[in-house]
Structure 1
Amino acid sequence: MLAKMLPLFLLLIGLAAGGGAGVVLKPEPESAQAEHPPEPTTDHATPRPEAHKGSEIVKLNNQFVIPLVAKDRINALVVLSLSIETTAGRTAEVYDREPKLRDVLLQALFDHANRGGFQGEFTKARNMDVLRAALGDVAQEVLGDAILGVLITEIARQDV
């Protein structure tokens, strides 16, 4: 009898723990956040791009996976997440054009990889600036004046 009750008992404990964690970790309502704005950080070691006034950040839905090929073999993969900074009110336009946008961004990433842009210290500021500029140029071809910039929100390289 005890063996049959154990899974039910464990399920109830899991539900109670999950519910308790949900209550404890629940985000503050927006009105409380407005009363207590976040403290400014004092970390000035890495400059962060600031959003333009009246702009919106649009996160592209899926990551980009770039194979790094040497001697007809894939020797590494680079995985990136990108967001588009656009003028206010143009988010829908970015999502409507996302398939074409992803295509040109992916081609720019392949070109960067073929030039050796993901070799060595590929995350150095200069290398990242070159990549951002290339991505911004091709994104502007698709979105025109709607685009203010391309943000690289995640980047990782995995050697295989």
Structure 2
Amino acid sequence: MKKLLLPLILMIVGTAAGGGVGMFLMNAEDPDETMLVETSGNPCGDEHDSDEMMAEEASDPVPLEQREYARMSNQFIVPVILNDKVAAMMVMSLSLEVEVGGQEAVFSHEPRLRDAFLQVMFDHANMGGFNGAFTSTANMRLLRNSLQEAADRVMLGHISDVLIVDIVRQDVTN
């Protein structure tokens, strides 16, 4: 009986802790605004960085002013399994970049999007993507690309980017 209750209790505690962290992070300063302030000017006078930013914006099919963001309504909670036991819980929040007016379509397809995103996250966890340095550039790029492919399958290309806004790993002690 004790062996059956312990994983359930750990999952509840992990979910509650993740929810608390999510609430805390929701009240934190919006990182998108900070990025806009930091990158809008070029305090170092380095023209190369400025040219790269302009080239990146020029290659983007949808201009910045014609985009909006649809934040997925709930966090994603993914167990990390090691040796047939829950070793950690991953808590993630996503926002989707769409053309202006596209938020309603995202919200009407949210159950299918959540299902597709969860499958990608479970696969990522099963491959060991949330172990070790799970926030490394290569690892995060792999996860983002997989999430984008899933979004494209559900929304047929109407989502231009999947943004990981929050990611937290809560280790479970046995």
TM-score by length of 2: 0.63
Specify the SS of the correspondent of 1:117: coil
Moved more, 83-92 or 48-57: 48-57
Structure 1 runs of 4+ off > 4 angstroms?
Answer: 48-52
Q: Which runs of 5+ in 2 are unaligned?
A: 1-35, 43-52
How far the C-alpha of 1:70 sits from its partner, in A, is: 1.2
Deviations 1:11-61 (A, max 9, x none): xxxxxxxxxxxxxxxxxxxxxxxxxxxx832699xxx99794211110000
Q: Give aligned-pair identity as a percent.
A: 42
- What letter is aligned with 1:120? G
Structure whose CA Rg is larger: 1
How far the C-alpha of 1:65 sits from its partner, in A, is: 0.4
2:158 alignment counterpart: 146
Distance (whole Å) between structure 1 residues aligned to residue 99 and residue 128 of structure 2: 33
Distance (whole Å) between structure 1 residues aligned to residue 37 and residue 95 of structure 2: 23
Distance (whole Å) between structure 1 residues aligned to residue 141 and residue 118 of structure 2: 17
1:156 and 2:168 correspond: yes
Distance (whole Å) between structure 1 residues aligned to residue 37 and residue 97 of structure 2: 22
Q: How many residues align?
A: 119
Distance (whole Å) between structure 2 residues aligned to residue 40 and residue 98 of structure 1: 31
Distance (whole Å) between structure 2 residues aligned to residue 100 and residue 158 of structure 1: 26
Residue 56 of structure 1, aligned match among 68, 72, 84: 68
Residue 102 of structure 2, aligned match among 90, 96, 104: 90
Deviations 1:57-108 (A, max 9, x none): 1000000000001121101011000011112211100000000000000000
Q: Which runs of 5+ in 1 are unaligned?
A: 1-38
Deviations 1:108-156 (A, max 9, x none): 0000000000010010111100000000000110111211010000001
